[in-house]
Amino acid sequence: MRRHRRAGAGGIALLLAGAGILAAAGPAGAAETAYRTECIPPPISGLPAVQGTTRAAVTAPATAKVGDEVEIVWRTVEAASKNPDVLDLDKDTVRPTGTIKVGGAQSGELKVRGPRQNPPLPKNSPMKLPDMKGTLKLEKPGEVTLAPGAYTINVSKPISTDTKCAPKEEVRPAATIKVTDGGGSSGGTAGGSTGGSGTGGGDTGGSTGATTSGGSTTGSSGGSTTGGSSGGGDSDGTSHEGKVVQVAYACKTPIGDRKATSPVQINAVKKGGGHGLTVKFAKSVMDSPADIPAGAVKPSMEVRVGGADKGTVKAEGPANKEPVKAGQPIAIPDLKGTYTPGATGKATLTPGVLTVRALGTTTTCTPEKDPGVSLALDTTAQQGGTGGTTAGGTGTTGDTTAGSAAGPASAGGTSGGLAETGADDHGTLRALALVAGTVVLLGGAVFTLTPWRRLGR
């Protein structure tokens, strides 16, 4: 739902924002502009760049005074790309962020941000984006122009991905503010509200602000840090979103060796001196060739800690709550654990050995090569740190690693210390031995890593 702030014909609307005052100075006006745009889909999609046209309207007060802090609204009339033919997007899974170029009497950039808010978006349908908002502090008299520019579309499910769109031509300003030298309000922040809270992972409801050549920026950017890294001094509850990495697994199963590749993402939330970790797999399908009772399948992972810190953190997922009939898919649950830093500096978190226990068997999947860091965190050493606890118990601590959790598998597909693989019922395993294409037998269930293009179909 769009809301436009309009001051009365003879009045001024004032909003308290922290220590500063937001002044909607003069009636607000909106103008539209269009520009050629290139959108780069997330690498994991395998889709080519999209060339299109962005149509956007910018709403700003027509007049204001130096020192005023005014709200700027970017409304995307038409995004340059549609929701591609990959998967239907659920309600409230899309969040846009963008940059408005500030010109004329004042130069710089204004960061704007929208809520995670959208209707359900079927495949091949227009990308409907919520309004993005930011707050600009006016610092010089004259005409200040506002031109929409680059923007990013984040989709939170099945995993967090970004489509980045950038102008391919000079963008005509969509709004102009006539600023007079009135010695307006001083102090306060240049950070605007996000315009709503998100429902997907990595949303912290932070604020966005302006960066101009006339003064310092005091607004902070909300949400997760781009590139899978975090800043120091985070308060409890701060979320950090890791990047998706492709993990090529070599699996030791009771019926032989298998290989599969899956996109994996590690996210973190600040909790006291440590971080609560969540390991997410891309939406995959585990097709069961036989009836699986409730509580029979339970996954876990040894997350590798590197950089300034060393060791592993065990993250576990819950067992399947409901029985699964033959042929039905089994979703991979989020794996959770707690990382307590053992060193001060920048620590890295990388997907490690994946273990799945099912129907009395244990299958161990080890990365064939280093998949790369998913998340980096600025840490402060804590007593008894490095390692952590899982949702259900105590994990590995210190520099001790389980098997080859600290590194990829050897070329021969073997590594020391792997969990024992075996089964009490070999007849059951033979009955479940359906191995084809990208199907991997994990204990008693078949783990199908569906190609990204087919996710959600």
Do residues 403 and 364 touch, judged by C-beta distance below 8 A? yes
- CA-to-CA distance for 395 and 384, rounded, in angstroms? 12
Q: How confident is the model at residue 258 (pLDDT cuts 50, 70, 90)?
A: confident
Q: What is the 3-state secondary structure (H, E, C) of 36-59?
A: EEEEECCHHHCCCCEEEEEEEEEE
Q: DSSP readout, 179-201? A: EE-------S--EEP-SS---ST
User: Is 433 a residue whose pLDDT tops 70?
Assistant: no
Q: How confident is the model at residue 13 (pLDDT cuts 50, 70, 90)?
A: very low
Taking residues 219-226, report their average pLDDT. Answer: 36
Those residues with Cβ within 8 angstroms of residue 334's Cβ, 6 or more apart along the chain or in another chain: 278, 279, 280, 317
pLDDT at 228: 55
Most confidently modeled range among 69-83, 204-218, 240-254, 325-339:
69-83
Task: For 316-329, write each residue's pLDDT tens digit.
Answer: 999 888 887 766 66
Neighbours of 391 (CB within 10 A): 16
Taking residues 45-56, report their average pLDDT. Answer: 91
Task: For 335-352, write each residue's pLDDT tens digit.
Answer: 999 999 999 999 999 999
- CA-to-CA distance for 31 and 148, rounded, in angstroms? 11
Is residue 244 classed as helix, strand or coil in its secondary structure?
coil
Which is nearest to 395 in space by CA: 249, 274, 288? Answer: 274
Which is nearest to 75 in space by CA: 150, 129, 5, 7? Answer: 129
Task: For 439-456, write each residue's pLDDT tens digit.
Answer: 333 333 334 433 343 334
Task: For 386-427, write each residue's pLDDT tens digit.
Answer: 754 444 433 333 333 333 333 454 333 333 322 333 333 333
pLDDT at 52: 95
pLDDT at 28: 58
- CA-to-CA distance for 158 and 174, rounded, in angstroms? 35
Of 48-57, 102-111, 296-305, the one with minimum mean pLDDT is: 296-305
User: Is 380 a residue whose pLDDT tops 70?
Assistant: yes
User: Is 67 a residue whose pLDDT tops 70?
Assistant: yes
Return the beta strands (E) in 368-455 as ranges. Answer: 375-379, 387-390, 393-397, 439-442, 445-448
Taking residues 145-168, report their average pLDDT. Answer: 92
